[in-house]
Homo-oligomer: A and B are copies of this chain.
């Protein structure tokens, strides 16, 4: 019988690997409407998906570099906020990625059931 704590330690790392690939899917899905970094983090947290700023901001920069996002500084509550939203390419890629994900999911469900 292996201690639950030991198993948990092992699963934490593997679980993070699983999650890593999903972050792009999740973040893109939320940027069909305009969001700034902090609002996006809160929104995901409320839905049970915790993400740190250290993960989110580099990802937003990467998605912008890849040409999927447009971003704008907007002064709000007397401070500048950088808002992000998918552009036309980003929206098309996000939808296609979601379809791809559903297909992968169906395959995997069959395999691990």
Looking at chain A's contact residues, the main secondary structure is: helix
Chain B nearest CB from A8 CB (Å) reads 7
User: Do residues A10 and B111 form an inter-chain contact, with CB atoms below 8 A?
Assistant: no
Additional A-B contact list (14), CB under 8 Å, known A21-B22, A47-B107, A48-B107: A10-B96, A11-B93, A15-B101, A17-B20, A17-B24, A18-B21, A18-B24, A18-B100, A20-B21, A22-B108, A25-B108, A44-B111, A49-B108, A105-B105
How many interface residues does chain A have, given as a range? 35 or more
Instruction: Give every chain B residue within 8 A of A6 (Cβ-Cβ).
Output: 89
Given the complex of chains A and B, what is the CA–CA distance between A48 and B108 in angstroms? 9
Determine which of B30, B88, B111 lies in contact with A26 in the assembled complex, contact meaning CB atoms within 8 Å. B111
Query: Which residues of A line the B interface, CB within 8 A?
Result: 2, 6-8, 10-11, 14-15, 17-22, 24-26, 29-30, 44, 47-49, 66, 68, 88-89, 92-93, 96-98, 100-101, 104-105, 107-108, 110-112
- With known contacts A47-B111, A107-B49, A112-B98, A92–B21 Cβ distance under 8 A: no
Q: Are A104 and B18 in contact (CB under 8 A)?
A: yes
